[in-house]
């Protein structure tokens, strides 16, 4: 699998590579090793592997890499009318942090909420942390929403699209830097395909199927 790196990462990666090289030149071996390890960690964190999962229009792919930490029902209208099932994915600092479109369709709603920065594992982070809410509707009228939620260390959510844009299943749509969470919301007829504690990958893992 070919691996790229998210362009947002170079502002963090390049200084550590340069500092490691300078430390080697002046023979500060210990400093060079530490700086080199930090650069390697950042390269791993900002990797952006090329992926293309299921093309079935009924499949909803994971928008994030990580671990499923919540599968539950939510009240109709709490997030968006008609969406009553939730899957939450925790992204550790060792996961790929690039987010991908869960299905093809049009972004019918987008909202940014400047909130807190609690740990992403905390349930309250779903409603109180800094976050983006994105609602997507496909050509047959099926609707899915997802939230990019900042975590304890994250200070910036990147979203490359806007309301009214068309997106394609599996395409890169943004990222959350340094630890975070993504919540995905489905209609009640969605057939959930994952279990709690499952590992999922953005653009590859089928989270749910929304029947015709």
Point out the residues that are catalytic.
180
Going by C-beta distance under 8 Å and a sequence separation of 6 or more, which residues neighbour residue 51? Answer: 1, 100, 170, 201, 202, 203, 204
Could you tell me if 172 and 42 are in contact, meaning their C-beta atoms sit under 8 angstroms apart?
no
- φ and ψ at 48, to 5 degrees? -135, 75
CB neighbour burial string for 88-102, b if at least 16 within 10 angstroms, e if fewer: bbbbeeebbbbbbbb
**How far is the C-alpha of 49 from the C-alpha of 96, rounded, in Å?**
8
H or E stretch covering 75: none
The secondary structure of 109-169, three-state, reads: EEEEECCECCCCCCCCHHHHECEEEEEEECCCCCEEEEEEEECCCCCCEEECCCCCCEECC
Cα gap 77→79, rounded to integer Å: 5
């Amino acid at each position: 699998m070919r691996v790229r790196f998210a362009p947002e990462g170079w502002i963090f990666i390049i200084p550590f590579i340069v500092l490691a090289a300078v430390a080697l030149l002046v023979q500060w071996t210990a400093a060079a090793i530490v700086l080199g390890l930090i650069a390697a960690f950042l390269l791993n964190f900002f990797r952006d592997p090329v992926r293309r999962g299921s093309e079935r229009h009924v499949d909803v792919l994971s928008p994030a890499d990580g671990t499923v930490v919540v599968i539950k029902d939510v009240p109709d209208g709490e997030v968006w009318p008609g969406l009553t099932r939730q899957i939450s994915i925790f992204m550790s600092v060792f996961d790929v942090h690039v987010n991908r479109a869960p299905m093809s369709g049009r972004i019918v709603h987008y909202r940014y909420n400047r909130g807190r920065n609690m740990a992403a594992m905390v349930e309250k982070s779903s409603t109180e942390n800094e976050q983006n809410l994105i609602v997507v509707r496909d050509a047959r009228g099926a609707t899915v929403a997802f939230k990019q939620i900042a975590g304890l260390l994250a200070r910036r959510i990147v979203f490359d699209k806007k309301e009214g844009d068309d997106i394609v299943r599996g395409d890169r749509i943004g990222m959350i830097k340094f630890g975070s969470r993504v919540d995905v919301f489905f209609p009640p007829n969605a057939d959930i395909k994952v279990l709690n504690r499952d590992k999922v990958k953005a653009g590859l893992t089928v989270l749910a199927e929304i029947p015709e």
